[in-house]
Structure 1
Amino acid sequence: MFDLPHAGRREIAPGAVHVPRWLDPATQRRLVEACQAWARGPVPARAATLPGGGRTSVRTVCLGWHWQPYRYSRTADDAGGGRVAALPDWLADLGRAGLAEARQATARSYRPDTALINFYDDAAKMGLHQDRDERTDAPVVSLSVGDSCLFRFGNTHSRNRPWTDLELASGDLFVFGGPARFAYHGVVRTYPGTAPAGVGLDFGRINITLRETGLS
């Protein structure tokens, strides 16, 4: 299990918790090294093609299950057809530790079986969306490393207000479950040059979201 420092918590909405600077530099470096290796294959990071033909501005690589808009599969049918890498136990342990830090009641029973790893450059963003492709309402655990971003966390009904804007910095933990599990959320912009020294990522941002798919 990970021995991570205590950090202050802020509840953004019922079920949505932001914990700044939760990951220590050594854990951030481990995540960066692992994500860079996963991005090289067996299924490389790619910009996903949306149903309308557009492509996301972030590049994504998946573990456990491969996500493409808007379904999961064991093989990367939109990126060469290879089988995705397994989700390692140590990363699942980190997800459970994050839920415990956020004081979520499901921490011990949490069994994430997929991770979506998004790589942001200084022009990348992500529109407001819901994570609804899973067949469970288990919480989503989000980890940030590298450049900071402006993160928008909205309501469960529409992309319209009310929403809360907050900065997610390197090492931050964000958890949303319970009443906030299906809230709209997105990344408005990144802030180039804000990554701290020593985490192994001098440019861009990595975001890891751990999830339970509910698939067998």
Structure 2
Amino acid sequence: MQPDLFAESREALPLGPGAVLLRGQALDQGQELLREIPRLAAISPFRHMTTRSGGRLSVAMLNCGITGWVSDRRGYRYQSLDPETGRPWPPIPDLFLSLATRAAESAGYPGFLPDACLVNRYDADTRLSLHQDMDERDHDAPIVSVSLGLSAGFLWGGLSRGDKARRHRVHHGDVVVWGGPSRMVFHGLDSVERGYHPDAGPWRYNLTFRKAR
């Protein structure tokens, strides 16, 4: 069992201009948030998408919202229908929306209303290389990223891929919000701690809220 090391902490750690790590922001709702994920997966199952070159992404993904992020040989994009089911993505749960709006406001971005939420599922062998969230039409809105389950090493770089990245350990209930001058910062995930979380099992889940359209 992995303890919630920051269960009593609610500190805000600045990452850069317009970017902050909110320790424990979602901790009180962690169990409720995790209970929504199987309901979403029953409509649009987790899948390992492919890249333009035909490679398989190691992270398992699903979407909810009026649009969802997809990747295949045609490239990266948002679309309103799940390519696997041919149906609309499930709506973003109200609990998700209220958390995203509240976290964004805490970070200095009032009025944030996402139209897309990407749910990533990681195991201990999953990595996510440094990248920018650049497929959204609206780059003025922030990104809100919620960590649930196992702890992980979150990489926070710069505006160029070659900029040195700092590593921050993120735990169950932590939320990272970035926008403004930091909206196009490269970020990634270099490790997931092996173990078993009492609410998430052997997984780390990440909810990433975006204003895509």
Would you call these one fold, judging by a TM-score over 0.5? yes
Q: Distance in 2 between matches of 1:88 and 1:175?
A: 19
1:155-213 Cα deviation digits (max 9, x unpaired): 112x2122211001111010011111111111001001163x3xx21211000011111
- Alignment partner of 1:22 out of 13, 22, 25: 25
User: Which residue does 2:192 correspond to in 1?
Assistant: 190
- Alignment partner of 1:129 out of 103, 128, 131: 131
Q: What is the CA RMSD across the aligned residues, in angstroms? A: 1.5
Q: Secondary structure at the match of 1:171?
A: coil
1:79-103 Cα deviation digits (max 9, x unpaired): 232221012333222111101222x
Structure 2: give runs of 5+ residues left out of the alignment: 1-7
User: Which residue does 1:139 correspond to in 2?
Assistant: 142
Q: Distance in 1 between matches of 2:191 and 2:49?
A: 19
Q: Secondary structure at the match of 2:206?
A: strand
- Alignment partner of 2:80 out of 53, 65, 74: 74
CA contact (8 A) 1:12 1:164 kept: no
Aligned-residue sequence identity (percent) comes to 31
Query: Which residue identity does 1:73 align to in structure 2?
Result: Q
Structure 1 residue ranges, 4+ long, deviating more than 4 angstroms after superposition: none
1:15-43 Cα deviation digits (max 9, x unpaired): 11001122234x101111101221222x2
Query: Which residue identity does 1:12 align to in structure 2?
Result: L
Query: Is it true that 1:54 corresponds to 2:60 in the alignment?
Result: no
Number of residue equivalences:
200
CA contact (8 A) 1:6 1:22 kept: no
Q: Secondary structure at the match of 1:201?
A: coil
CA contact (8 A) 2:33 2:95 kept: no
Q: Secondary structure at the match of 2:185?
A: coil
User: Which residue does 1:85 correspond to in 2?
Assistant: 90
Q: Distance in 2 between matches of 1:178 and 1:30?
A: 30
Query: Which residue identity does 1:212 align to in structure 2?
Result: K
1:26-72 Cα deviation digits (max 9, x unpaired): x101111101221222x211011111001111110101112112111
1:113-149 Cα deviation digits (max 9, x unpaired): 1100000011111111110010112100010110000
CA contact (8 A) 2:105 2:112 kept: no
Query: Which residue identity does 1:204 align to in structure 2?
Result: W
User: Which residue does 1:148 correspond to in 2?
Assistant: 151
Q: Distance in 2 between matches of 1:10 and 1:33?
A: 28
Q: Secondary structure at the match of 1:188?
A: strand
CA contact (8 A) 2:143 2:209 kept: yes
Q: Secondary structure at the match of 1:40?
A: helix
Q: Distance in 1 between matches of 2:61 and 2:124?
A: 15
